[in-house]
């Protein structure tokens, strides 16, 4: 690795000498081989010239580079292998991919990149040599070259660097980590002031610039990768945050036993930390391990210790790596333990990423359990909503609504302070404020002009349009969400910081088929379907933030809907933000009378 790094540094020094005029006249430069350099975008010419001078790129048989032409996967891999000095010795004679036979012009480059873990096929034994490369695919290849997983980037950086792109939601989940790294290290930038175009076809001049940036900033990039590079455990979509880091040794990932607690398994470690017993949640599968011992016992049903039980010999297995002590935990071979208790596990020996799946458990269990805990929420809350209805033909705002509510909840008791502001071109802006205390089924409403409290019923509050926090209604809506959980498109988007606290961020996209489950019943208009009302599309995107205690601390929902009827065309936009604090605290709420 150090030799390759020094080779790249020497290339940079050589380029600097060339640009300074040193060796001019004594070093042959083949830039003239590119006849259409003048047709390249101004931002790309320096990169193309450098790549040409260093024999990374050449023109076609007529000397043309065609800078604006889309680049195929075979062409891209060839340039990457040349630019990054990937080892091309001792390549296999038998082709890995059916569409890149040994006689293919890119065979050696594809095989070298595949062996180095930079690229993989597209399925069915094919590489997709003639498929056009997308911008997000390029970022993944560069990250693979650094032996860095996208999950490690998410765990270390999060996705805050992508917030500036309005098309961030169009990025593939598998590419977000690599795009974050590329942007944060100035390897790539957007295609416009605030767009990235992840699925856009990469052009030859773009690739020249990307690789030039990579080479020019290689020292900083390698340092950044080194800081982020670590084994990561991903369980059912969740990137696990652990107090003790996993360790990659000889192709095996040793996982702290606490990781399996986060996978809802039962873990027992003796006081001396010599033996570990791990059982699945159902209790019908187990594995017994001993530190320093490559022998383990699976599915042992005896009452004693299998290491001292001759009858347990049939349950013995040999581990590829022995468990060992590390800090305050015991490291165990992750793949062997996962498979012993009925889970599947895959290890990327280059990056240390271990993906563990349990088909009997929900996806993203940290999020699911945090939502489940909200069924009995106690603490303080603050929520705000901004909604607008726009005439898309006249480009005018027809009506606007802002809403904020804050207070506390403790079981059937709650407080709420609410402000509602409506605005429209004809009547201007109007605001109303409300203050309500709920004790059981009894409501107390404050006259905001006189400051006098009075008792009202829930029916009267609804009739008079007085908003208040109703824990039972909130619980019912949360239960709807949980019932539809399996239909949601959920991405663990790494870490974020909310009010100084590091939390896990989840991004959720809701399709039409579950919108009726998520939208409060009173907004659907009885038997009228969402498709009938919003016949020009309906889209919900959510972000949910969960802390290390498994508590939901923030939720953001963005809704966009279009409708067209009787010559009118309108768009509804709504953003709702809810924040929760002092979660689990018994807050005293008393009657004001």
Kindly report which listed range (181-190, 394-403, 521-530, 537-546) carries the lowest average pLDDT score. 521-530
Report pLDDT for 33: 59
| Residue written as token pair 């094919």 | 126
Compute the average pLDDT of residues 9-26: 35
Compute the average pLDDT of residues 505-534: 65
User: Between 58 and 208, where is the model more confident?
Assistant: 208
Are 518 and 509 a contacting pair, CB within 8 Å? no
Report pLDDT for 13: 36
| Residues in the chain, overall count | 593
How many DSSP H helices and E strands does the chain contain?
A: 16, 24
Contacts of 468 (CB under 8 A, 6+ apart): 414, 416, 418, 434, 436, 438, 443, 461
Report pLDDT for 559: 87
Report pLDDT for 2: 42
As a whole number of Å, the CA-based R_g of the chain is 30
- Taking only the tens place, the pLDDT of each residue in 115-148 is 999 999 999 999 999 999 999 999 999 999 999 9
CA distances to 386, 429, 433, 498, 569 from 425, rounded to whole Å, are 17, 9, 22, 37, 18
Distance CA 547, CA 502 (A): 7
Distance CA 81, CA 54 (A): 13
Are 416 and 467 a contacting pair, CB within 8 Å? yes
Confidence of residue 27 (pLDDT cuts 50, 70, 90): very low
Helices (H), 126-188: 135-145, 150-157, 176-184
Say yes or no to pLDDT of 482 above 60. Answer: yes
Compute the average pLDDT of residues 165-176: 92
Are 467 and 357 a contacting pair, CB within 8 Å? no
- Taking only the tens place, the pLDDT of each residue in 76-85 is 999 999 988 8
Compute the average pLDDT of residues 284-310: 94
Say yes or no to pLDDT of 564 above 90. Answer: no
Interhelix angle 135-145/176-184, nearest 10 degrees? 80
Which neighbouring-strand residues pair with 571?
390, 562
Domains of the chain (ranges; CATH) run 2-71+132-228 (no CATH), 232-358 (3.30.457.10), 369-431+467-581 (no CATH)
Average per-residue pLDDT for the chain: 88
Say yes or no to pLDDT of 377 above 50. Answer: yes
What pTM was estimated for this model as a whole? Answer: 0.83
Report which DSSP code applies to 262. H
Report pLDDT for 1: 45
Report pLDDT for 297: 97
Closest by CA to 153, choosing from 121, 125, 184, 124, is: 184
- Taking only the tens place, the pLDDT of each residue in 426-446 is 778 899 999 999 999 999 999
Compute the average pLDDT of residues 46-61: 86
Kindly report which listed range (38-47, 49-58, 542-551) carries the lowest average pLDDT score. 49-58
Q: Is 214 helix (H, G, I), strand (E, B) or coil?
A: helix
Say yes or no to pLDDT of 10 above 50. Answer: no
User: Between 10 and 461, where is the model more confident?
Assistant: 461
Confidence of residue 516 (pLDDT cuts 50, 70, 90): low
- Taking only the tens place, the pLDDT of each residue in 565-588 is 777 888 889 999 999 999 999 999
């Amino acid at each position: 690795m150090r030799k390759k790094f020094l080779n790249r540094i020497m290339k940079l020094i050589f380029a600097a000498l060339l640009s300074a005029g040193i060796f001019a006249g004594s070093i042959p430069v083949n830039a003239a081989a590119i006849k259409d350099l003048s047709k390249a975008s101004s931002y790309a010419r320096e990169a193309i010239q450098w790549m040409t001078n260093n024999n990374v790129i050449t023109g076609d048989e007529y000397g043309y580079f065609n800078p604006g032409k889309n680049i195929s996967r075979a062409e891209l891999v060839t340039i990457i292998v040349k630019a990054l000095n990937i080892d091309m010795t001792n390549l296999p004679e038998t082709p890995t991919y059916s569409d890149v036979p040994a006689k293919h012009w890119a065979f050696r480059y594809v095989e070298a990149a595949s062996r180095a873990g930079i690229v993989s096929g597209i399925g069915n034994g094919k590489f997709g040599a003639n498929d056009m490369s997308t911008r997000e695919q390029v970022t993944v290849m560069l990250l693979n070259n650094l032996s860095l997983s996208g999950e490690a980037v998410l765990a270390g950086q999060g996705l805050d660097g992508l917030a500036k792109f309005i098309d961030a939601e169009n990025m593939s989940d598998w590419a977000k980590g690599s795009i974050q790294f590329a942007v944060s290290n100035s390897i790539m930038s957007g295609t416009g002031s605030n767009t990235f175009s992840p699925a856009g076809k990469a052009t030859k001049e773009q690739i020249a610039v990307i690789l030039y940036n990579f080479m020019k900033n290689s020292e900083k990039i390698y340092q950044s990768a080194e800081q982020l590079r670590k084994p990561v455990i991903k369980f059912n979509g969740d990137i696990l945050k652990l107090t003790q880091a996993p360790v990659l040794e000889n192709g095996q990932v040793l996982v702290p036993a606490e990781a399996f607690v986060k996978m809802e398994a039962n873990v027992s470690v003796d006081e001396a930390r010599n033996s570990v017993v791990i059982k699945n949640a159902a209790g019908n599968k187990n594995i017994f391990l001993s530190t320093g011992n490559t022998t383990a016992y699976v599915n042992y049903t005896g009452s004693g210790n299998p290491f001292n039980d001759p009858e347990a010999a049939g349950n013995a297995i040999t581990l590829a790596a022995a468990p060992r002590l590390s800090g305050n935990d015991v490291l165990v071979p992750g793949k062997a333990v996962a498979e012993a208790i009925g889970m599947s596990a895959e290890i990327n020996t280059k990056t240390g990423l271990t993906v563990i799946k349990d088909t009997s458990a929900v996806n993203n269990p940290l999020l699911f359990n945090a939502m489940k805990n909200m069924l009995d929420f106690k603490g303080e809350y603050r929520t705000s909503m901004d909604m607008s209805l726009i005439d898309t033909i006249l480009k005018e705002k027809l009506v606007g609504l802002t809403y904020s509510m804050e207070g506390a909840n403790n079981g059937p008791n709650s407080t709420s302070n609410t402000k509602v502001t409506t605005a429209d071109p004809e009547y201007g802006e109007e605001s109303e404020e409300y203050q309500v205390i709920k004790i059981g089924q009894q409501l107390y409403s404050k006259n905001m002009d006189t400051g006098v409290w009075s008792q009202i019923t829930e029916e009267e509050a609804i009739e008079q349009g007085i908003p208040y926090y109703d824990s039972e209604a909130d619980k019912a809506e949360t239960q709807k969400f949980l019932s539809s959980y399996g239909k949601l498109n959920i991405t663990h988007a790494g870490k974020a910081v909310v009010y100084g606290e590091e939390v896990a961020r989840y991004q959720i996209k809701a399709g039409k088929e579950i919108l009726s489950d998520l939208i409060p019943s009173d907004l659907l208009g009885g038997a009228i379907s969402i498709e009938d009302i919003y016949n020009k599309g309906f889209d919900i995107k959510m972000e949910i933030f969960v802390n290390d205690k498994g508590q939901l601390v923030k939720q953001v929902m963005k809704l966009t809907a279009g409708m067209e009827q009787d010559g009118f065309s309108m768009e509804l936009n709504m953003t709702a933000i809810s924040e929760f604090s002092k979660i689990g605290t018994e807050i005293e709420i008393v009657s004001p009378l």
